[in-house]
Chain A
Amino acid sequence: MVESGNIIEIKNITKHFPDKVVLDDVSLSVRRGEFLTILGPSGCGKTTLLRLLAGFNSASSGEISIDGKAMTETPPHLRPVNTVFQRYALFPNYNVYDNIAFGLKLQKVDKKEIEQRVKRALKMVGMTDYEHRDVQSLSGGQQQRVAIARAIVNRPKVLLLDEPLAALDLKMRKDMQIELKEMHRTLGITFVYVTHDQEEALTLSDTIVVMNEGKIQQIGSPTDIYNEPCNSFVADFIGESNILNATMVRDRLVRFMNREFECIDEGFGENVEVDVVVRPEDVYIIRNAEAAMFHGVVRSSIFKGVHYEMLVETPDGYEIQIQDYNSFDVGSEVGMMIKPADIHVMRKERTENHVEGVMVDSTHVSLLGETFECKEVEGVSAGDKVDVAFDFGAVELTDDADDGTSWGTIRFILYKGDRYHLTVRTDEGENIYVDTHDVWEDLDEVGIKLSPEALRITPHKG
């Protein structure tokens, strides 16, 4: 047996459901023996990816191989993997022993051996002497232990876990996390774990795969993902963070909140728009406002057990989240400092909106399923395809049904210190991005207004 190398290879997997793309060209390798967590908000495609590995769904395109064998179309009962389900999925017609022995009996394992292996699996999950209990008489935590035992007793090459702790209460969840980690170490098999809980992912994993909207955002160790998030989505999703618009003035110098900060990032170029992330615990707060790098007024302070969580507003109107062991009075003037190494610079995923449109006549363009007025465009005629660009700030959102031209739903909200950066999914399924000072809520229905001056129209390329 090869002890190293990759046990799972996922190549260019795409999965369409009738009305949407759930996985969009996902490629991923899992090393033999590692604890890999797929992390993302609900609807990001993580569970679908796990179900493709188990064989419950088949991919629209792409390839999956497990343990060196092509398994893209293999039915679940022939795969060397076992699954722990979120809702346990224990067979109510069997007792604990028969549930765990289910897989072994199908493999026609010798009766004596079944008994030994079931006993060992029960011991491993701390459920010795529960063999003859009815599964429905067990608590949620006990049922999940039985479900884990039922999966590991078959000695799978890979154990798939679909949010196994999501239905448990906090205390039980914490205990089970430690036990799962311990179990992974003892068994030495590969764990692929799906969760939406970033803390759980950071605690358990060797490798975290962050997913959003059917795409992998970042793959890395917990420390990489936390300290070096590759875009604003990851930074926002993992832990608490201040994410701000910034300009990279030159190597090691970045400008945000209307002042320049030294940093340690290089290679972005000069005067390039970027995002910066500063973790709340990395902002130093002192009483002496004069001696600090910048200052502000404490707007709120909440005691969180170990630290205080404070919101400080600068004179320019930026809100900074800060965690500190000391308490500062609300309304008091404070100074703040950020060390160069604690400023993390990220390339912007986008700097303006790009959509495709079709010219209706010389002063009207059809985009996002509606017709918008625009300035007269040279060199295109009615019916031509065009590329349309507009700034995040040029979009006006309205909740008045008669006012908006096109409609969409707010899918993601990112707070950037002085403004909100919203992702709005239009009814036609396109994403547009909006900067606004107004407060909207996730899943709000909004009308989208665009002024004629804001649209920059060029003939369609390609």
Chain B
Amino acid sequence: MKKKSSIIKLSIIGLATVIGLVLSFVPISFGLTKFTSFARAVKLGLDLKGGVYAVYEMDEGQSTANLSSRMDGTRTRLQDLLVDKGYTEATVVKDGTQRLRVEVPDVDEPGKIFDIIGKPAELRFELEGNTVITGKNVLSAVADYDTQQGEYVVSLSLDSDGTVKFRDATKAENKDKQISIIITVDGEDSTISSPKINDQIVNGKAVITGMESREAAQNLADQITSGQFDVKLSLLESSTVSPTLGARALMLSIIAGIVGLALVIVFMCLVYKMFGAVASFSLVIYTVLMLFFLAVIPGVQLTLPGIAGILLSIGMAVDANVIIYERIKEEYRGGRSILASYYAGFKKAFWSIFDSNITTVIAGAVLYFFGSGSVKGFAITLLIGIVLSMFMALVVTRSIIKYVLHINSSSEKLYGLKRGKDFENLGADVTDASIAEADAAQKRNKDGKKDGAAGGLANETV
């Protein structure tokens, strides 16, 4: 009975994997809707796919005092803006003393770079023709949703200077006067809104209301952010740019990955026999899931080192299996049956796998939250790899092995196990009866508890 259901379960897992593999590599179209394969949907970095570039030049007539450090500051803010938008692999470099060169990966139209960076907008609040505060007084501009009014807004936090000026402008005697919020893009002024002063605002928070959509609010917030740049920039040129490494590098890495994966599978099957085969099968599932997550999680732009990192994570994913199998071997050597060794092996290996992976997760999470640019992107890839490999070893491989053992739990040879000196004549499944009994007892116990709990509840209601 158990054997039959195990075969069915294994077939289902196998089928799901095949479907996953197809979805990963073959684009499918239903009527007019097209689904890109996971592998194709993964965004690639500048080195593998190229993207667009734009060169910004400092506007004429600006002060050149501290130019170098101001350019550095502008560059950092631009880079942060790009990372915020999920372009962790975008680069910003100084080109000479007065220009910045931005490269954004995996975008095909040069015009899109403006969608990403936004056209820098200068902001000012005017009261009766006098400027109250400008974008320079803005510490941060974020898109928000005003639940009371039910509309999207841009919230501004002002610096101390701006707070004082804004407080003075909104004092009681100016009540009911209009404040105009004006932005200047490419030298053209436009008034976004002219709210009336209701109350004095002392906390340094200003809100721009009347945004049409979340997108509009976000765009304005970005424009204001880029308008605060220490150096005013205009676009000099922008166009597409080819990958620095190109298609050959990508293809060779993929070939290397496939060969490496195949060798690992051969190694595992030779050393751990049936267990190794299960691990190899899990490895295929791991690859499918990895591709899926890389495709859907934002902030991932795979670069060549990223691919190498994933290949390495495949090696590390096997690691957890090796730990478990060595444990199982050890337990079997020590006289347990195959089934009992399996239970003990997974149980004992659990904490060592958990602890070792959590430590790495800590490192990855810190790098994600505190690192910048490409470090952040690499940390995401690392985190996906670790969490997935832990899940694979502790959940997926474990279940598959259980089903396989239900089909056969008596062949030493099949699993590559060997008895220790003291237990040479012990049968491979000699203690199975007792284990199965304990298993059944545990299950009865669980069911009993459930029934009991339900019963208890029923009793209480009565």
A and B bind: no
